[in-house]
Each structure stands twice: as C-alpha cells, then as structure tokens.
Structure 1
C-alpha cells in the first residue's frame, strides 16, 4: 500500500478518536457544573458558554505559533505534541473542583491543541496533488464521524459511569490516537532544509502568505463557513422543541437533528473530494456553498421534526464539500515549506468562526424569529459563494489560458 494511503488510514482513525473524545463532554457540561455545586440556571448557562468558548479563544491565538514550529521541526512532532498534551489536560479535567478549574483547563487545552490542523498539514504535504481532494475529504469524514458519535457515547457513559470518569476515558482516547500516529505515520520532511530557512515571526509569516492573494480569501471563506453554520447551532434544540413539543423524546430528537447533518456530511466528503480531483476544487467549493445556501431555506419552512431531519440531511451533503476543498486549495496555493503555517492561520479563522457564530446567532435571535435565523445563515453562505467565486475565478481563467 502507498505510504500516503497508510498515513490517511491512521490519521482518519486519529481524527475520529480525537473528535469523539473532545465532543464526549458536550452533552453533560452543564450537568457537570451542577455537580460542582452551581445551581442557578442562568449562572450555569453563562459558565457553560464561557467554558465551551475558552478552548477556541486560546486556539485562535496560538495556532500560528504551532504552525511555524511545525514547518521548522516537522508536522509529526506537532501532531504528537498536541495529542499527548490534550490527553493530559483532558484527564486533569476529571479532577476539577470548581468552574474556574474547568475554564482554565479548557483554555490550556486550546493552547496545546492542534491535532486536526497538524494532521491536515502532514497529509497535504505527503499526498500526491492529484489525490488531494480525496485525501482531504476522507480525513474530514473521520473528524465528522467522531463529532457525531462523541456526544452520543458521552451521553450514554454519563448514565453508566458518571461524569468524571468520562474525562479519563477521553484522555485515554487521545493518548491512543497519539500512540497510533507515533508508531505508524511516516513523514517526508527535510530537517536540514527547514533549518536553513530564516526564522519568521507570526506577523512576518502572515505578511508573506498574504502576498499569495488566494490565501487570505480562503481564510475568510473558512471563517464565514463556520460563522454562518454555527450561528444556528445553539438554537436547534429550541427549534426542535417548538416543532415537537416538550416530552421525554425531546433530547433524543434534538441530538438526532445534529447527528443527521454529520451523517450525510461524512458520506459526501470523500465522494465530493474525488469529484474535486477531476474537475477542480474551486468548482466544488462554489457549488457546495450555493447548495448549502439553498438547503438552508427549507429549514425555515418545515412544520414538523421529520421534515427538519430531511432538510438537515440535505444540508449535510453540501457541507461535506466545503472545508475539504478549502484545505485542498490552501495546499495548492501555499508556498513550499510554509504548509503548516498556512493551515494554522486557517485553523485560527475556523476557531474565530466557532467563537463568534453562536454569540451573534444568539444575539440576533432576540431580534428575528428562529426560522429567519436559517434564512440569515443561507444569505451568509450565498455571500460567501460570491466572494469565493470572485477571488478564485481569475485563477481558473489564468490556469485555462496557460493550457496549450
């Protein structure tokens, strides 16, 4: 088997274990705060939001630093640093005694995080260009599969073993993913050549990368994708409650609404990646942005929870082609030797969208209806499609004009 395929299998497994472990705590975080002695409903909601966002705040700030070190010392080193570091931090959360402990540990987790972007950078630098779309799509499916099953497994284990042991289980999963990568992932990396390059600050690196006009555009596309999609995410349980009513099945249906999108995303990602390898990732990116914008509209028109399931499944098909094609395009336009730094800036844009999307969505929900939030998300995705087409279309023209 080709080395890049072995790397893909191992990193897919690693992405799955990392994302499953990281999302296990999502369903019971407010309940864990209650176990720590916090009982006021508003206070629990406030702290749960702060603790959830704390990971993204520090991740947004430090990812470019790790990216620069990865380009100098190797992507595998950064992959293992992140994996083992997060394993330790997640296990420590099981010993937290107050909400402050959890918040500080989540911020520390964001500081040492980076397994997913390091895996993407390693895969992109060690995969044939003609297979890049398939590799990025397949890698994305592993992360999505973990994100789907993580909350489900976390909810089940919370019932079986309680809250604190889940943090130890999560740490063990992260440790297992890191050991798997340490044993089986191989990287082509010229340490002497990397050491011979002049050292650059994060600002100097960004200034050099932004000279490649497509890269800042792609970072903006990543931010807008996450911002528009996560602006509706915290409100979905409320929308399910409005459609279905308050009963014992409400939590199950609310979880299913999130999972069904991830399911179609996971299936579509490798398929769209293969198509992108044939016709170009630019076309797939714009097609999926327009498709996701259109797919947002039926969600505002549904009258029962089953129609919402169908609409969310339809949306997930187009979501499967977004971030993988952005990653493929970043690899295409990034100067050699700066791949990790380039992906780290994209990871910062991703974290920024993860932070601001839910905040703005929650604020806007006080002004417009829940149905209109879906339309708001669709408009943002459509604007994103026009932006991507404007910034990438000239490149396609230049490429086509150079073909004999």
Structure 2
C-alpha cells in the first residue's frame, strides 16, 4: 500500500476518536454531575454542563494557531503525537474527577494541548499526490465529522451499558492506541533544517501574512458560517424529536438516531465528493454543496414526524460531506508553501469559535422563533455562503481564466 494511503487510514481513525471523545460527553454530562459528582441544584447542573462543554473550545480557539506555527517549524507528525498522547492522558483523568471544577480544568487543558486535527490535515495535504488531494481531504475530514456527530450517540449508548466513568477510560485508551499507530505507521518527509532556516514569524505576523490572501479570508469566513448554521440547532434537536414523537419513551434513542443519520450520510458522501472535486474543481463542489445544504434545512423546519426529520437530516449529511473537506482542499491551494499548518490551525480556530457561539446563539434565538425558525435561518446562512463562494472564488477563478487581450504591435502592423 502506498504510504499516503497508510497515512490517510491511520489519521482517519485518529480524527474520529478525537472528535468523538470531545463530543460523546454531551448526552450524559448533566447526569455525571448529578449522580457521580453529587450536584443537586438543577440550575447549577445546567450551568456547569454548559461551561464544561464550552471550555474545550475556548482554549482550542486560542492555542490552535500556536501549535500550527510549531507544526510548520518542527513537523506535523510531531504535533500529532504530542496532541494525541496529551489528550489521551487528559481524557483518561476525567474519569477520576470528584468535583465540577476538576472537569472544567481538564477540558480547558484538553483544548490547550489539542491540535491533532489541523496537524493531520496538513500532513495529509503535504504527503498526498495532487491529483488525489480532494479524495484524501474528503476522507480524512469524514472521520472528524462522523466523530463529532456520532460521538453523542456513542456516549449515550455506553452510558447506559457501562456507566459514566468507564467511558473516559475507554476513550483515553482508544486515543492512546490511535496515537501509537500514528507513531509507527504514519510517515512524513519533513526537512527540519530547511524549516529552521526559514523566516520565523509570530502567530500574529503569520495571520497578517495569510490575511493578505483574499481567498483564504473568504474560506475562513465560510468555515465559521458553515459551523454556525450546522451547530446552532443541534442542542435543541432532542426537544424537537420529543415534540414530534408524541411519547415520553425512547426519546434519547430517537434523538441519537436522528443525529447519527447525518453522520452516516456525511461519512458516505465526503470521499465521493472529494474525488469528484479532483475532477471538476473544489470551488464548484463547495458552491453546489452549500446550495444543497440550504435546501436540505427547509424540510426539517416543516417536518411533521420523526421519520420525515430523519430523512431530511440524512439528506443534509450528503451535502455537508462536500463542505469542510473542499474548504480544506482550497486552503491548501491558496496557502504559501511552509505555512500550511498555520492556515489549517486558523481555520480550526474558526471551527472552535463556531462550536462556542452557535449553541448559545441558537438557544437564545429559539425562545422567540423556535427550532423550526432556526432551521430556516440555517438555510439562509448556507445560501448566503453559496453566494459568497461564487463571488470570492468562482467569479475570481473565471476572471483569471479569461485570456488576456494582447496589445496591438504598431511596428508589425506597419510592416
């Protein structure tokens, strides 16, 4: 097997485990605080659960660009190993927490040492043949997205089977195994001497340099809006499922099933759309996927049964599979050599920012417009994203492809 394929397979599992480990606590965190940590005030439980969940993304937003700088200087594989071992230890320790602040500190630490995902994407982009880059990006990103969406379902199922604390031990052990696999299987041809001799820039200077490239700024903005549109209704879907189900039984199962449908279709679509982007261009796939996602949010707003919602969420996942992977492909296309990890880290920071603000904004707005209104807002945001992509990427690409008119040569015309 070619080395780039080995890298892709190993890092797919790593991406899946990292994102699943970060999100699988969603279904049982309030219960963990109540039954294992002894909290009795329901308002305090809700407050601590929200703070603990957001803590990871707050520090990740701050530190991702810093680790990206070191990845460009010392190698992406080194950052993958550093982050993988660190997060495996931190997640394992969460199972020993005896107070809410223990969990908060560990989640903050987990976000601080994170960087597995952007380093993995940068390594894949650097080691994959150019004609396979779309397929590789779609594949590796499908692992991260599937982990994000399936994590809560896995966490809910495991909580019923083995209890709360063993989930942290199991997740830490699996992440440790994935990191060891990356240590011995993943290979990167990285010239540290050349990187050390290159110009050293601070994180702020790196951001300034990348911000001079309008396509990259547009892609960072697209990433933020995609994440905001996708995540703002997520925390309210269990309540919507309860409303549609008309029963108090099996609500958690159906809520998890609805969420996992999006992850399943995303998992299927990402490699297919990635391969297609290698043929017709990532810009076109991104624009079509944004339009499709905008349309897929509409039937969710008008769903009358859980089955209808399930089908609509499955359809949404087919188009989500063409969003973040094509953004990553285009980031590699427009990023100067030697700054790939920093570019992916800044993009990862925008993802973390979307994860932070989307649930808060969604919860605040839903009080006046309901979750059905949130689905329609998400549709509009995706549509605006599509217009932005056309204006900043597709329109500019067509302009560059137009043949330039050659000035007439007076001398040749006179002769």
Q: Per the shorter chain, which TM-score range? A: over 0.9
Structure 1-normalised TM-score?
0.97
Q: What's 1:32 paired with?
A: 32
Matched ranges for 1:68-217 at <5 A = 68-217=69-218
Q: Larger deviation: 172-181 or 13-22? A: 13-22
Asked if 2 retains the 8 angstrom alpha-carbon contact of 1:18 and 1:177, the reply is no
Q: Match for residue 48 of structure 1?
A: 49
- Relative to structure 2, which stretch is displaced further, 195-204 or 338-347? 195-204
Where does residue 283 of structure 2 map in the other structure? 282
Query: 2:20 touches 2:152 (CA, 8 Å); kept in 1?
Result: yes
Q: Whose Rg is larger? A: 2
Residue equivalent to 1:312 = 313
2:264 aligned with 1:263? yes
Give a deviation string over 1:163-199, Cα, whole Å, max 9, x none.
Answer: 1121111111111111010000000111111001121
Structure 1 residue runs of 4+, over 4 Å off? none
Q: Match of 2:413? A: none
Determine the structure 2 residue equivalent to 1:6: 6
**1:71-98 residue CA offsets vs partner (Å, 9 max, x unmatched):** 0000000001100000111111111111
Separation in 1 of the partners of 2:194 and 2:395?
Answer: 33
Question: Structure 1: how far apart are the matches of 2:93 and 2:267?
Answer: 31
CA distance in 2, matches of 1:77, 1:31: 37
RMSD: 1.5
After TM superposition, give the deviation of residue 289 of structure 1 in Å. Answer: 0.5
Distance across 2 between alignment mates of 1:44 and 1:251 = 19
What is the deviation of 1:147?
Answer: 3.5
2: distance between equivalents of 1:288 and 1:160? 38
- The runs of 5 or more residues in structure 1 that have no matched partner are none
Listed as ranges, the matches of 1:56-75 within 5 Å are 56-75=57-76
What is the aligned length? 404
Shift in alpha-carbon separation, 1:99–1:2, aligned structure 2, 3 A: same
Confirm or deny: 8 A CA contact 1:24 1:170 kept in the other structure.
no
- 1:130, distance to aligned residue in structure 2 (A): 1.4
The answer to whether the 8 A contact 2:20-2:147 is kept is yes
Tell me the secondary structure at the aligned position of residue 311 of structure 2.
helix
TM-score, reference length from structure 2: 0.94
Cα pair 1:136 1:273 within 8 Å, conserved: yes
Alignment of 1:313-332 (within 5 A): 313-332=314-333
Tell me the CA shift for residue 17 of structure 1: 2.7
Quote how far apart the aligned CAs of 1:21 are: 3.0
- Shift of the 224–148 alpha-carbon distance from structure 1 to 2, 3 Å rule, reads closer
Q: Is the 8 A contact 1:58 1:110 kept in 2?
A: yes
* Deviation at residue 144 of structure 1 after TM alignment: 3.1
Distance in structure 1 (CA, Å) of the matches to 2:177 and 2:166? 17
